[in-house]
Structure 1
Amino acid sequence: MARARRILVALTALLTLTAGVPGTPASAAPPAPAAPSDAAEHWSADLAVGGGDDVNVAWRSGRLRLADPRPTPRTRPAAAAGPVAEGILLSAPRALDRPATRVRARLAARTRDGGTATAQVRGWRSGRWTEWRDAAEAVFDQPVTRVQTRVVLTTPDATAEAAVTGLTLSADRVATTAAPTAAARTYRVYATRIGLVGGVTANGHTVAARDHFAALPTRRGLSPRGTGDYTVKVCTTSGSRCEYAPVWDVGPWNTRDDWWNPPAVRENWKDLPQGTPEAQAAYQNGYHGGRDQFGRTVRNPAGLDLADGTFWDGLRLTDNAWVDVTLLWTGGGARAVVGSGPLNLRAGASTTYPSRGLAATSAQVPVQCYLTGQRIAGTYRTTTRWYRLVGGTYVSHAYLSSVHGGTVPRC
């Protein structure tokens, strides 16, 4: 009888792994993972909490649980139908024995009364991470050499349960068609201001006054705390001001709407044009009855949230507005990491040139070439090296913690 109960729990957890948030439009669920082949590499994720990038989770009595299961208001009330308790465990990246194009996971979990437990994975390739994917079966269009896993727990109230006892994964190689390297995707969307200083974002960051980060309505592009693995370039429609900002929160309106992806990849709303947020379609055209995934009436067409510093100082906006946003991880090329910001984007390789915007701390900016300019004594070094970014602005190497993802030529 005990064995039967364990089998039932495992099957229930496997279904939970691919289940959406209540109220999410129905979509075809991926097939249950097949039995791993003998050629696959297998491992178990370490569920012990130990890193500063974990958020509101604890390992107790052989189970991963929420450290505080009491729902609290989110930074953005529009992010969920009501207050929820949420936690994320981020595993250490695993270096694979050989490159793989497919990762499959089995999650042993117990959930009840509206609690959810999901696992997601991403892969390292060409000097950067792919987007996060549901771990039931994640297929990458190019081989990855490292894999990272995260577990997301949510409960609607303190009586609900979401607990994980184990997570096993396998990686192997299946035939895929590599997508050609292209420029990062850019779209015009409506942006709103986050505000609510002192709140906590989805990746565990506490919002500061005049903070610099962005939010997108999906966890697929959610950066771990303190990183800019997923960075957006946001510009006014005139192009006069831009800011590079890391994605540190989920919202507005929806939580499973990666609107920049093609229909074959998009989590939900696959009948919408690529680049159109669900909230925009709902507000402008009455799509989905004019409601978001939680059934609320959509009051604005926003597909992007901006922290106060990004909104006021980076773009110098005074009200919600349409902006041009580039999802930088969707393109290739070298990247520089801003270690000390917000950093001015100059019109030339000297502080005498005017500022055209800002680059937030942790943002990854696309580097085009380098040149000799004004000597700057900065946080990391004293140097005359400046980088021209894609788009024509310049930053000093003195404030960049690293450059990776390719060779940077001289301008």
Structure 2
Amino acid sequence: MRITRRMQVVVSLAAVLAAATATLPSSATETDPAAVAAQPVAGSSNVKIEGNRIILGDAPAAVGSTEIKQRSGLAELTPVRFAAATSAVVVGYTASTPDRSSAEVAVRAWVKDRWTEWTPAQAGTPTALPGASDQVQLRIIVTAPPTGANPWVSDVTVQPTDKVSPSQMTIQAAPLKSRVFATREGLVGGTTANGHVIVNRDHFVALPSRRGLSGNGSGTYSVKVCTASRCAFEPVWDVGPWNTKDDYWNPSATREMWKDLPQGKPEAQAAYQDGYNGGKDQFGRTVANPAGIDLADGTFWDALALSDNSWVDVTYLWTGDGGRGTVSITSGYLNVRNTPNSSGAVVGMAGKSAQVTVECQTNGQSVTGSQGTSSVWLRVHPGMYVAKAWVSAGSFAAC
């Protein structure tokens, strides 16, 4: 059993869970240096509260895209607001990780009107933020083998500090785009890394690092995946394929593992094509394909019309600036059409809660949706449009 040190200013765990959203969290309470959590809402999964501890829940081992069976739980704490912006924080917690279990605490910040990527935080060690912010949020992930151990985290604290070098992780002018090999995840009925139960013709993707993992039902971290003629906009709801600590979309200096690989190149691709790491993934398995992204069935078959694993162009939307909107539907997907009209040909799809890029807006057919009735359509890619009536977004320049 490993016990890490405690820090001061405890965030209450009596009601610790809160959903991560793509808008400024109004529940964040201004205190210095920490805030008490609000009542729990949807977004976290398979954790339970016992006194001052967040403990892995009782759900069975999930079958996700890594094909490594683990019991896992995810808890997102209510965002904390400081009295002034800070460029770094000190996160403290006590953790128990018996019998090959693990507990990870990560932090993210509200920068440029959106959440940054999750950054792992070691207890008592200053963690640099990608930008100065007075809003931070903590996340706890606990994992264990299929039977046995129940890891826990308690006495979670966060406070600002100036005793750290500036972060090398920044939000770029344009989000990273790379060409990677895509495989179909399938696994209908299985549970993803964020607690989502996979349904038939589902819409989401898996990336091989939790740094870009959205909470259950959230699209804070979304990707645009394109073939030569179609595009899909999907939330990141699972971890894989192959690795779980390969945030290959980040610069080498801030990459969790495999820092000698170029930005945008998955470790699995390097292992498969170049014999990197002896042709193995981080778990010692022989890499059988160069996959850097897994696609749920609806994304694979319906949105992109793929019939086999394929190379695709992926844009990691949270890594850069640009116009954004959020797909506001209760289930399923939103059609992407080649004209601003519901009779236009379907050239892609956008999943529930996914972020979509917005290049400009134009007038088209009037549509009634979750955002009311509107004749405005958003161009999300050259020659591709979605009805704004189904997208939560501001106003954009005319096309």
Shorter-chain TM range is 0.7 to 0.9
1:262 is aligned with what amino acid?
P
Aligned-pair CA distance for 1:180: 7.4
TM-score, normalized by length of structure 1? 0.84
Tell me if 1:216 matches 2:210.
no
Tell me if 1:159 matches 2:153.
no
Q: Say what the alpha-carbon RMSD is for the aligned residues.
A: 2.4
The aligned residue for residue 54 of structure 2 is 64
2:130–2:171 Cα contact (<8 Å) kept: no
Over 3 Å counting, the alpha-carbon distance change for 1:119 and 1:392 in structure 2 is same
The aligned residue for residue 22 of structure 2 is none
2:109–2:130 Cα contact (<8 Å) kept: no
The aligned residue for residue 105 of structure 1 is 91
Aligned-pair CA distance for 1:361: 1.2
Q: Secondary structure at the match of 2:200?
A: coil
Over 3 Å counting, the alpha-carbon distance change for 1:45 and 1:109 in structure 2 is farther
1:95 is aligned with what amino acid?
R
The aligned residue for residue 385 of structure 2 is 394
1:117 is aligned with what amino acid?
A
**Structure 2: segments with no counterpart, 5+ residues:** 8-30
Aligned-pair CA distance for 1:378: 2.3
Matches within 5 A, 1:40-59: 41-43=32-34, 46=37, 50-59=40-49
Of 358, 362, 378, the match for 2:353: 362
Structure 2: how far apart are the matches of 1:180 and 1:218? 18
Q: Deviations over 1:93-126 (max 9, x none)?
A: 1222211111221111122221211100111111
Q: Deviations over 1:30-73 (max 9, x none)?
A: xxxxxxxxxx9532775x983321211101243221121x7524
2:232 is aligned with what amino acid?
E
Aligned-pair CA distance for 1:203: 0.8
TM-score, normalized by length of structure 2? 0.86
2:119 is aligned with what amino acid?
R
The aligned length equals 369
**Structure 1: segments with no counterpart, 5+ residues:** 15-39
Matches within 5 A, 1:2-401: 9-11=3-5, 41-43=32-34, 46=37, 50-68=40-58, 72-76=61-65, 78-80=66-68, 83-136=69-122, 137-173=126-162, 176=166, 181-236=172-227, 239-340=228-329, 341-400=332-391
Over 3 Å counting, the alpha-carbon distance change for 1:138 and 1:79 in structure 2 is farther
Between structure 1 and structure 2, the one with the greater Rg is 1
2:34–2:80 Cα contact (<8 Å) kept: no
2:33–2:83 Cα contact (<8 Å) kept: no
Higher mean C-alpha displacement, 123-132 vs 54-63: 54-63
1:188–1:324 Cα contact (<8 Å) kept: yes
Over 3 Å counting, the alpha-carbon distance change for 1:184 and 1:94 in structure 2 is same
The aligned residue for residue 22 of structure 1 is none
Aligned-pair CA distance for 1:260: 1.1
2:374–2:389 Cα contact (<8 Å) kept: yes
Q: Deviations over 1:231-281 (max 9, x none)?
A: 100011xx2011000000000110000011111010000011111111111
Structure 2: how far apart are the matches of 1:210 and 1:94? 37
Structure 2: how far apart are the matches of 1:186 and 1:391? 16
Q: Secondary structure at the match of 1:309?
A: helix
Identity rate, percent: 46
Over 3 Å counting, the alpha-carbon distance change for 1:175 and 1:273 in structure 2 is closer
Q: Secondary structure at the match of 1:220?
A: helix
Over 3 Å counting, the alpha-carbon distance change for 1:177 and 1:65 in structure 2 is closer
Structure 2: how far apart are the matches of 1:206 and 1:266? 29
